Amino acid sequence: MADRYGALVRTAFLLTADRGHAEDLAQASLIRTFQAWGRLHDTAAAETYTRTVMARLAIRWGRRRWRAEQATAHLDCVAVIDAAGTVDDADLVMRCLAALPGPQRAVLVLRYFEHRSEAEIATILRCSPGTVKSRSARALAALRSAGFLNEDGSEPSTYRGVSP
């Protein structure tokens, strides 16, 4: 756990777009993995099991009616431009991911950050491969309409911002 904790928190951060929630999600996933330890046939699969639990919990937590404190500061996805005129890509990506619904965000994180196949994502999220494809298409369309991606999937030279 100690060796992989940082990687788990990074994935959780992409799923939740909040550092505190990412820590909570990673810890809750590890607790559930520990509780299921006797059912795991191969202990080498513990990280995969933990990541699966993490993705499912992130979607479930996103469906909750009350989401605790809501930031009142700037919620739109706007590019942060430093003094040199360059865009802070990490901040931009996180804000754009945060603007997407949880299931769409989970599909993009599993597909492009963890390099999972559509079949693996469908198994993890307990949905059909068609649902994975449609969630991915909707999420990418939202990013394109916001100006974050060009039609060919490349980054645009200018960025307009996204509204959820």
For residue range 46-56, what is the model confidence (pLDDT) as tens digits? 888 999 999 99
8 Å CB contact between 148 and 96: yes
* Residue linked to tokens 């706007």: 78
Classify residue 83: in a domain, yes or no: no
Q: How sure is the predictor about 163, in pLDDT bands with cuts at 50, 70 and 90?
A: very low
Classify residue 5: in a domain, yes or no: yes
Classify residue 59: in a domain, yes or no: yes
Number of domains in the chain: 1
pLDDT over 50 (residue 113): yes
Q: How sure is the predictor about 139, in pLDDT bands with cuts at 50, 70 and 90?
A: very high
Closest alpha carbon to 1 in 47, 58, 52:
47
Sequence-ordered list of residues with C-beta below 8 angstroms from that of 145, at least 6 positions apart, any chain: none
Classify residue 110: in a domain, yes or no: no
8 Å CB contact between 162 and 91: no
Alpha-carbon gap, residue 158 to 74, rounded angstroms: 20
Span 10-29, average pLDDT: 89
Residue range of the domain that includes 63: 1-70
Mean pLDDT of the chain: 79
* Residue linked to tokens 């949905």: 127
Single pTM value for the model: 0.63
Classify residue 27: in a domain, yes or no: yes
Classify residue 11: in a domain, yes or no: yes
